[in-house]
Structure 1
């Protein structure tokens, strides 16, 4: 119960890592606003939390729009009286290709939903976080540190988030607000499967081979790190980039092939995400 009586907004909370974060926070005692696009299963996630005895409500809207970002924060404060934690997990991963072939509409789409949404939500939340000496944890990526071929624009958006959160950490410390990034590597979501995401079979194979632990991570393994950073246990941690990447950012070559099969099995976990293979791996129709 390390988040007992805390109020948290989790953006992109309807599937994958976001769903795991929302459920993890609720189990740790937080009251959660599960935020996502109108077509996202955020109501299902909130209902699952409630059925387990937790506290959650949903908010639907495009939070890259200033009015919606403000409304999300206002809902949290109206419903629960305050805001302690903002989790900027929302993001999109629409395609992969060499840069000369990369669609400009996909680039614009990522700018809006990987960068503008983080800016808008952080800006809207800060006045409330000042009151609670709360914190922000945003989604970075291994791609934001090392860059990934045929994934270059995505890595650029995550590199922005790294620098953005570090800048916020410095300027907001005077108000008692901490700001950090969680930077996943290959995680078992829609994005890293050729059947449901933009990666082809060669990318998928190479990604796992390049991971020293020889497997994808689970959304729950990422959520565990978010829970630590959002808690008072991390009271002296700000401006940090926490890599949850199976070691891929420090690896060279197909080191994952050396891992015995018995060690490549993903841990089962406790959160039981229902929407593991959902996620925004395509451009939403209304923005085409």
Structure 2
């Protein structure tokens, strides 16, 4: 069974748009007719960017900085007349050390990139999303469901994403739907480089995760809010 989505006349903001997952989500919304605004500190023409420059209206912004977040979101609204969907995709992974060997810089970095960006983007987007009964989709993680050796701060930051998602859903019931997705291992060039001997066939294609994001933002999920949706595949 195939599914199609129509986001014509909808304005979407994707943070982390130049990354592997963000670019796949941006492309999926573009294919569905949406006006896609992409925010990142990495420009689309950078050698490390994955996104097609023709897919997004690019807004450079550091989403760990509240002034930058406010500026970008207000610019998106001014340029396009409003905002319908926010996809909090900016994030990263660090790990390898037990808590007693983890430096504060690593802890703060993970909470800044994974949780603070989601908080700030949601905070400043919500007034605009409320006007259009919009949606928020954020990226948590399968590993946020439990503790584990070696990457505790990462797991904790992603657990925070889940809890803030539930809070946003409850605070905006009937106005804005908020959900999280929980990937396991995503098939990205960086992950393949980090884990060259893993079973890459079991990893999830970012394009498949993107379709779940579209479904959560669409009229196909009108009563789904406050959920954390597994997108593990076989990983």
TM-score (norm: length of structure 2)? 0.90
Q: Partners of 1:130 and 1:16 in 2: how far apart?
A: 29
Secondary structure at the aligned position of 1:173 is classed as coil
Q: Partners of 1:219 and 1:100 in 2: how far apart?
A: 34
Secondary structure at the aligned position of 1:234 is classed as coil
Secondary structure at the aligned position of 2:180 is classed as strand
- 1:240 and 2:233 matched: no
Name the counterpart of 1:222: 209
Q: Could you list the structure 1 runs, at least 4 aligned residues long, displaced by more than 3 angstroms after superposition.
A: none
* Long gaps (5+) in structure 1: 50-55, 249-288
CA contact (8 A) 2:23 2:52 kept: no
Cα distance per residue 1:152-171 (max 9 Å; x no partner): 21111000100110111011
Following superposition, the deviation at residue 192 of structure 1 comes to 2.4
* Long gaps (5+) in structure 2: none
How many residues get paired?
Answer: 228
Please give the residue correspondences for 1:262-277 in structure 2 after superposition, counting only pairs within 5 Å. Answer: none
Q: Rate the CA distance shift 1:130–1:242 in 2: closer, same or farther, 3 A.
A: same
- 1:189 and 2:188 matched: yes
Q: Partners of 1:42 and 1:145 in 2: how far apart?
A: 36
Name the counterpart of 1:257: none
Name the counterpart of 1:77: 77
Q: Rate the CA distance shift 1:42–1:140 in 2: closer, same or farther, 3 A.
A: farther
User: Which protein has the larger Cα radius of gyration, Structure 1 or Structure 2?
Assistant: 1
Q: Rate the CA distance shift 1:124–1:42 in 2: closer, same or farther, 3 A.
A: farther
TM-score (norm: length of structure 1)? 0.74
CA contact (8 A) 1:2 1:232 kept: no
Secondary structure at the aligned position of 1:114 is classed as helix
Q: Partners of 1:102 and 1:48 in 2: how far apart?
A: 41
Please give the residue correspondences for 1:1-288 in structure 2 after superposition, counting only pairs within 5 Å. Answer: 1-37=5-41, 39-41=42-44, 45=51, 47-49=53-55, 56-174=56-174, 176-193=175-192, 195=193, 197=194, 205=198, 208=199, 215-246=202-233
Q: Rate the CA distance shift 1:240–1:154 in 2: closer, same or farther, 3 A.
A: same
CA contact (8 A) 1:13 1:42 kept: no
